[in-house]
Structure 1
């Protein structure tokens, strides 16, 4: 997707850029000449994984825990204080279908890490973003599983469902891009959300083998199962996020949801659904609803205490 693009002199930040899709995005960007900052909750693992890249000299790693607002603030301040402009911000890090855990001031972990941590990070990095910068929010087809659960966002009053929690967090990733683009486009900053595709990566680490067998991802021996034939490689999966961050075809666009390196169609809500309420492709109408996006932004500002764009 980056063939022919020279990204020399450009700076990217890729959260989770040392594993799975993020590592492939880091590889593609550095191969094209960009410098990449990889913030990581486990910087020692990041250093080891990034050392083998062909252009490891173009990568720097730093410490960041998206579930800790103090850690988010400290990392962002280091970037801002460096005086460098961030041309590409890829919010790639995520957790999926984990047991109920709390981060920050008691947030449900998937919503707190996948959405609120990235929300605070991008807003604190606002001084380093400028005309031509792009923010890429890596969502998932999993956003089909749930809209925002406004009556109980953090599963404090109802039974926890790990897939519904994941779906809500991925819907939040899309709504974040919609509202960020609306607020920042006058400054020339554009935002995109995307589904990378089905890929076997460390994101599945919280799923027991028997569940992956039931889903058809693995067989009883732990080999790829029947559903795995439709999976992408990690390189193919990273293509849409790197395309979103760099493609000239997206010039003048923003606030849209992408898949397979194209703007996705809006889902026909009458279409057949799978066992968890998802369709095969496309973006759910509730995930790109501007009123929902504005409401989530206001909620997130109150939750994190940060807003780098509304008053800009």
Structure 2
């Protein structure tokens, strides 16, 4: 899937469409979904929108108590099970339980993530943003593969970000073992990894009629920003000097209800049939990044996140890392 295949469909939705609007005319009754990070931020709104349409939703949770509180007002068939993306034993246990209980999965939404956090190591020493955002979801998806390929039409959605533009895969030092840690470079690498993951996964789902897509949900204030001090968010232009939303943020940022819409569009839209592996934003396929101009940093997708060879290389690297864990 080359960047030239990133051609918008003119879906009829827009940046501020809500998840409920995207799903309004789609029958999802009786479907089954897994949504990681489904009890906070846009993940919570993703769960809410799916459950309202009759989808049975399973939410992996690190904190059952917090999940119970935040999911209490969600109507529909929503259950939880303990899992921590930073703990491969818990990921494998969760997946084994799902395989035992469910014959097939309609939607796997890899939504959970961490952003710009202090340096930390997870698993066998992986840099935490790569380890949680990419490797945890890679391990989960690999373990669930028997169910993902058991029926036609399964869709996997990986949440990437416009931050993929910050950094491609650091092939010579993915784990920041030999170079100083940079939280934004690490986040950018992880978001590129999410996009390449969906690209490669689509080829592995093709025979069974499934597909995978990556999405940029948009700028949204959620607990994802918990590691950023107010001073940094002011410097980034997200907050004004008083700590309130800046004019830029008011115009460009989305609510969590709007932020879940591209995920839900990628999971359900017939416009994506025959277009596996593409990167989406604002409820449509994203266009290639403009060569220059004010939107070059914030809209579109860079070629390095759509490269088939890079996607296959990352898949092989990820398999090797997982085998050693």
Mark yes or no: TM-score above 0.5.
yes
SS of 1:241's partner is: helix
1:67 aligns to 2:89 (yes or no) = no
**From 96, 108, 118, the counterpart of 2:127:** 108
In structure 2, which of residues 95, 98, 101 is the aligned counterpart of residue 82 of structure 1? 101
Moved over 2 A (4+): 219-222
| Aligned counterparts, 1:33-72, within 5 A | 33-55=54-76, 58-72=77-91
1:155 to 169, 176, 184: 176
In terms of mean alpha carbon deviation, does 64-73 or 259-268 score higher? 259-268
Q: Is 1:94 aligned to residue 100 of structure 2?
A: no
Cα distance, 1:7 vs. partner? 1.1
Equivalenced residues, count: 300
SS in 1 for 2:23: coil
In structure 2, how many angstroms separate the alpha carbons of the residues matched to 1:83 and 1:139? Answer: 27
TM-score by length of 1: 0.93
Q: Please give the per-residue CA displacement for 1:64-114, whole angstroms capped at 9, x wherever unaligned.
A: 110111111000000001133110000000000000000000000000000
Q: Could you say which residue in structure 2 is the equivalent of 1:215? A: 236
Q: CA offsets per residue over residues 264-293 of structure 1, 9 Å max, x none?
A: 11224x42589xxx6121111011101000
Query: Deviation of residue 305 (structure 1)?
Result: 2.2
- Indicate which of 274, 278, 281 corresponds to 1:259: 281
TM-score (structure 2 length as normaliser): 0.90
| TM alignment of 1:121-140, pairs within 5 A | 121-129=140-148, 130-140=151-161
Unaligned runs of 5+ in 2: 1-21
| Contact kept in structure 2, 1:96 and 1:204, CA below 8 Å | yes
- 2:24 alignment partner in structure 1: 3
Contact 1:137 1:173 in 2 (8 A): yes
Gaps of 5+ in 1: 307-312
Distance 2:64 2:271 in 1: 34
Question: How far is 1:131 from its partner?
Answer: 1.4
SS at 1:252 equivalent? coil
Instruction: Find the counterpart in structure 2 of residue 117 from structure 1.
Output: 136
Alpha-carbon distance, 1:235 to partner: 0.8
